[in-house]
Amino acid sequence: MTQHRGHEEPREESEPRELSDAFDPTQVSGPAATGFPFTSGVDPEALRRRALDALLAARDRTTLLTDSVDDGELTAQHSPLMSPLVWDLAHIGNQEEQWLLRAVGGREALRPEIDGLYNAFEHSRASRPSLPLLAPAEARTYASDVRGRALELLEGTPLHEGGGPLERAGFAFGMIAQHEQQHDETMLITHQLRAGPAALTAPAPPAPPEPVGTGTVPSEVFVPGGPFTMGTSAEPWALDNERPAHRRDVAAFHLDASPVTCGAYLRFIEDDGYGTSGGGHPTAGPWSVNTACPHRCSGAGRRGSGCAAGSG
């Protein structure tokens, strides 16, 4: 998805960029207008069903995450790194309104006065509790109203090759489902940062694997270099930076056999793994995944040259 950021405000480095906030949906033209592919042979009705399933699944998760706590928990900020849950809820609805109802459907804005409140580029997460946000009941009503209209729009929107860039192959509907899924992940993190009893349940984690570096499990595996296909020219909901499919050649490398633990990563840093002579973050100097790191992380028993620290 081509990003137009002429109106973008400074953003806290700790905050991830949000999928659908990066440019104005009314200004899709030029490369963006021709950059959304339609895969010939794909049934538009199958795409419509896929979009419907994705939107419904995302909303089920959103409902679980926001209905499992009371209003006080929804409006509280559980960490300055995160928004109040009620902000995420109304933001999901507002982005859906802007992209689907207004940009795709050409409809009048339902709540234009709240666009600024729920623009992630205008307000840092730490500042969002001070905004005049919609109350939980109002946020739920707004998001539900938008969703009902969006599903009606999906039923009647042509998803064929000759449609506009947002309609073609149901791109905007898929993007909005992905955006909501992203915020579901964000809200799950907020739940994990909450104090007090957990509001959600999950299956017990699987038994821990055999410790790496012992028995038959190696600490690292060698991945031989060679060509591979990066990106896609077939997935209709891929973003612009994921297209087109193209060949890339990668040098051989070693990869951890299992996800890196916090303890192993701490030992890596304490052993001056980044080569900063102080265990600091490498942003103070150049750092590249293609740069050999001629150190040995003795605490973690790791080789340095050609390794990918923290991979897994």
Asked if residue 8 is part of any domain, the answer here is no
State residue 277's pLDDT score.
58
What is the rounded CA–CA span in Å between residue 274 and residue 16? Answer: 23
Judge if 43 and 95 occupy the same domain. yes
Judge if 189 and 211 occupy the same domain. no
Given a contact cutoff of 8 angstroms between Cβ atoms, the answer to whether 217 and 150 are in contact is no
What is the amino acid identity at position 211? P
For range 219-232, the mean pLDDT:
93
Rounded to two decimals, what is the model's pTM? 0.73
Judge if 236 and 167 occupy the same domain. no
Instruction: Give the CB-side neighbour count of residue 162, counting CA atoms within 13 A.
Output: 0
Asked if residue 269 is part of any domain, the answer here is yes
Asked if residue 5 is part of any domain, the answer here is no
Judge if 159 and 217 occupy the same domain. no
Judge if 300 and 222 occupy the same domain. yes
- In degrees, rounded to 5, the angle at the alpha carbon of residue 98 between the alpha carbons of residues 116 and 183 is 75
Given a contact cutoff of 8 angstroms between Cβ atoms, the answer to whether 87 and 133 are in contact is yes
Judge if 180 and 241 occupy the same domain. no
The tens digit of pLDDT for each residue in 43-91 reads 889 999 999 999 999 999 999 999 999 999 999 999 999 999 999 999 9
Residue 126 belongs to domain with CATH number:
1.20.120.450
Radius of gyration of the chain (CA): 23
Residue ending a domain, choose from 193, 224, 244: 193
The tens digit of pLDDT for each residue in 270-280 reads 888 777 655 45
Confidence grade of residue 212 (pLDDT, cut at 50, 70, 90): low
Short-list 57, 55, 64, 74, CA closest to 139: 74
Residue 35 has pLDDT above 70, yes or no: no
Judge if 181 and 278 occupy the same domain. no
The tens digit of pLDDT for each residue in 125-135 reads 999 999 999 99
Range of the structural domain that residue 246 is part of = 206-312
Residue 31 has pLDDT above 80, yes or no: no
State residue 210's pLDDT score.
64
Judge if 270 and 235 occupy the same domain. yes
- Residue appearing with tokens 């915020």: 183
Number of domains within the chain: 2
Asked if residue 144 is part of any domain, the answer here is yes
State residue 118's pLDDT score.
98
Asked if residue 198 is part of any domain, the answer here is no
Residue 39 has pLDDT above 90, yes or no: no
Judge if 46 and 189 occupy the same domain. yes
Residue ending a domain, choose from 146, 169, 193: 193
Asked if residue 3 is part of any domain, the answer here is no
Given a contact cutoff of 8 angstroms between Cβ atoms, the answer to whether 119 and 97 are in contact is no
State residue 290's pLDDT score.
47
Residue 145 has pLDDT above 50, yes or no: yes
Given a contact cutoff of 8 angstroms between Cβ atoms, the answer to whether 19 and 182 are in contact is yes
Given a contact cutoff of 8 angstroms between Cβ atoms, the answer to whether 73 and 194 are in contact is yes
Distances in Å between the Cα of 285 and the Cα atoms of 17, 107, 114, 311 are 23, 49, 41, 20
Residue 22 has pLDDT above 80, yes or no: no
Write down the mean pLDDT value for the chain: 81
Residue ending a domain, choose from 166, 193, 220: 193
The tens digit of pLDDT for each residue in 238-265 reads 988 999 999 999 999 999 888 888 888 8
Asked if residue 18 is part of any domain, the answer here is no
- Name the percent of the chain lying above pLDDT 70: 71
Confidence grade of residue 282 (pLDDT, cut at 50, 70, 90): low
